[in-house]
Amino acid sequence: MGWALRFLGVGNAAAVELGSANATIERDGLPWLTIDCGAEGLSAYLAHYGAMPQALFVTHTHLDHVGGFERLFVATWFDPARRGKVKVYVPAPVVPLLHQRVGSYPNALAEGGVNFWDAFQVVPVGASFWHDGVQLEVFPARHHWPETAYGLRLRGSLVWTGDTRPIPETLAKFADAGERVAHDCSLHGNPSHSGIDDLEREYPPELLQRCLLYHYASAEDGRALEARGYRVARKGEVVALHETTVAPIA
């Protein structure tokens, strides 16, 4: 069955009906690595897979991407089979931001005796990291503030930009192997997010043809993007990916 990407949600923070812009990379039909943990994204994951995620990559700490962590903490800490084993890969500059957002509340449990991160195996990452014997690459996005948001690459298979403005120089390096590019895009851009006019101005046609657009504002906007000739992701959609060109380690 190979590799696939399942969109748990495709909307921006205000588009509740479209779900949080979170996704899961699947391998042979099973969840392999989940991208972000918004509250709605976590609910969509649980509804589809019937269990909580075992491994996550955090792109940045806006709440539509990390708002599910408290619920994930409770479900993980009180399950001895999962406690301390759920991997959370976090770009190193994002670690303190993630702690401020979700891990710093005094006494994670009223009974005491546990730190928030005791439930997880937190793995700070740099330019690349290994998951399940496969190496993934990490690159900076252009979202809201420098060094706060990052994207993910599975070489030859997938590039997930995360929330970002156009990043043509970055994608010239990190999307140069025919990958499907899941890209932040709405009908109209703003200082933190891409609009379709921005992408058309900044990206070559070949790259645009590989883009799968998500993080848009409404179903109507999604249809408008399709009318302009682009492929738009839908909540719950599964997209087949090429086999990664990264050699796995046993």
Summarised one tens digit per residue, pLDDT across range 220-242 is 999 999 999 999 999 999 999 99
**Nearest-angstrom CA–CA distance, 174 and 154:** 9
Would you state the pLDDT for residue 112? 93
**Nearest-angstrom CA–CA distance, 73 and 54:** 12
Residue 194 in contact with residue 164, Cβ under 8 Å? yes
The pLDDT of residue 9 is above 80: yes
Residue 214: strand, helix, or coil: strand
Residue 35: strand, helix, or coil: strand
Would you state the pLDDT for residue 195? 98
Nearest to 69 by CA among 47, 94, 86: 86
Residue 132: strand, helix, or coil: coil
Residue type at 17?
E
Summarised one tens digit per residue, pLDDT across range 195-208 is 999 999 999 999 99
- Supply the mean pLDDT for the chain: 97
**Nearest-angstrom CA–CA distance, 161 and 152:** 7
**Nearest-angstrom CA–CA distance, 171 and 72:** 32
- Mean pLDDT confidence for 166-178: 98
Residue 119, number of CB atoms within 10 A of its CB: 25
Would you state the pLDDT for residue 248? 80
249 pLDDT band (50/70/90 cuts)? confident
The pLDDT of residue 54 is above 80: yes
- Mean pLDDT confidence for 79-102: 98
pLDDT above 90 covers a percentage of the chain that reads 97
Residue 207: strand, helix, or coil: helix
1 pLDDT band (50/70/90 cuts)? low
